[in-house]
Structure 1
Amino acid sequence: MDFYRTLSEVIDMRSFSNLWYWIALAVLWSSSSHWVLGVPFDMIQRARRLGGQTEMDLEALVAINTRRFLGISRTAAVPIFVVLSFMLSCLLLLAIWYRMEFAQAVLFLLVPMIFIGWLSLRSALKIEGGETSGPALYRRLLIHRRLVQVVGLVSIFITSMFGMYQNMNLSILN
């Protein structure tokens, strides 16, 4: 009996008051802005600064990741759309109608990531369309990273405001 009580205190389903949720949010956004279309940002900077073999490695890695991403989107777009729509509908129902805090927290993680996926698809299409090397590639990758950072900043702000509202609401009710 004591084990279950301890376990329920450690794994708290009240997400916005849980430190692990905020750590997961920070890790999600820091890794999303670090990995630009599957390429680490330090590699982009190094290739831009040094050129040569590093630049060729970057171009090859971007080409591989772009083809992979576009291949997945072209072959599995419908199943991915169906699964995401179903998940989003269920989460919205649980979060809004039933006011389930865990579903609200997952929505604050998932919805911006869907937007980031769309931005990645858009950037991959532009790279495929001709921005495959040199300054045009660096520009595209840096624009994509900047947009991801802006989405992350807005998402973290909205999530923290809603989380504070939830925590203040719950403290008033108790």
Structure 2
Amino acid sequence: MNWSNILFQVIDLRSFSSVWYWIMLAVLWSSVSYYVLGVPFDLITKARRHGGQQQDDMIDLVRINVNRLLGIAHTAGLIMTGFAFFALTTLALLGFYYDVEMAQALFLVALPLSIVGAVSLSSARKIRTADPEPDQLYAMLMRHRLWTQIIGMCAIFVTAMFGMIQMMAVVRGL
């Protein structure tokens, strides 16, 4: 019994036909939309509903995460942006020019995640400059979550359509 053959039978490296890819995609977008700027959504809803200490905790957590995100962007933002564009360009070329399915699958995950990262950075800047009251902060966090979910739904739809086209091409032998 060859362990590498068994492993490659369980984890199919053809991304769009692998159930593991689709499970990873669902878990990824579920997690990304659950954490709004690093704050769990249940904490936001509890803070909005009950106020008091939970609201103070949520405000502190938003402040910590906004400062952390903007600090990283200030110190290493240019390098991280350059690396992200390099990685996305590499994945796009490997995937769509050289027809590497794994690179296509990774590109269809990484591109929307980078857009969510840019939206998160924009939201963090707005929160820091506005210094909002709790009701305004809730609205800003809900707007950020809505945009994250819209990006996620579009990403899943495009990935599913592209994956179906790829699988139909494999079945037809193209």
| Runs ≥4 residues deviating over 6 A | none
Paired amino acid for 2:9: E
1:30, CA displacement in angstroms?
Answer: 0.3
Match of 1:163 in 2: 163
Greater mean deviation of Cα atoms: 18-27 or 3-12: 3-12
1:9, CA displacement in angstroms?
Answer: 1.5
The whole-number CA distance in structure 2 between the counterparts of 1:74 and 1:18 is 39
1:97, CA displacement in angstroms?
Answer: 1.0
Match of 2:42 in 1: 42
Contact 1:91–1:103 (Cα < 8 Å) also in 2: yes
SS in 2 for 1:129: helix
The whole-number CA distance in structure 1 between the counterparts of 2:147 and 2:47 is 21
TM-score normalised by structure 1 residue count: 0.96
1:151, CA displacement in angstroms?
Answer: 0.6
Match of 1:54 in 2: 54
Unmatched runs of 5 consecutive residues or more in structure 2: none
Match of 1:4 in 2: 4
Match of 2:108 in 1: 108
CA RMSD of aligned residues (A): 1.2
Match of 2:75 in 1: 75
Contact 2:70–2:125 (Cα < 8 Å) also in 1: yes
TM-score normalised by structure 2 residue count: 0.96
The whole-number CA distance in structure 2 between the counterparts of 1:131 and 1:49 is 21
Match of 2:96 in 1: 96
1:131-170 matches, within 5 Å, as 131-170=131-170
Match of 2:127 in 1: 127
The whole-number CA distance in structure 1 between the counterparts of 2:148 and 2:130 is 22
Paired amino acid for 2:158: I
Paired amino acid for 1:92: A
The whole-number CA distance in structure 2 between the counterparts of 1:158 and 1:25 is 12
Contact 2:11–2:20 (Cα < 8 Å) also in 1: no
1:86, CA displacement in angstroms?
Answer: 1.5
Paired amino acid for 1:150: I
SS in 2 for 1:99: coil
Match of 1:20 in 2: 20
1:2, CA displacement in angstroms?
Answer: 3.4
Contact 1:131–1:140 (Cα < 8 Å) also in 2: no
The whole-number CA distance in structure 2 between the counterparts of 1:131 and 1:105 is 39
Query: Identity rate of aligned residues, in percent?
Result: 46
SS in 2 for 1:12: coil
1:130, CA displacement in angstroms?
Answer: 1.7
The whole-number CA distance in structure 2 between the counterparts of 1:53 and 1:120 is 25
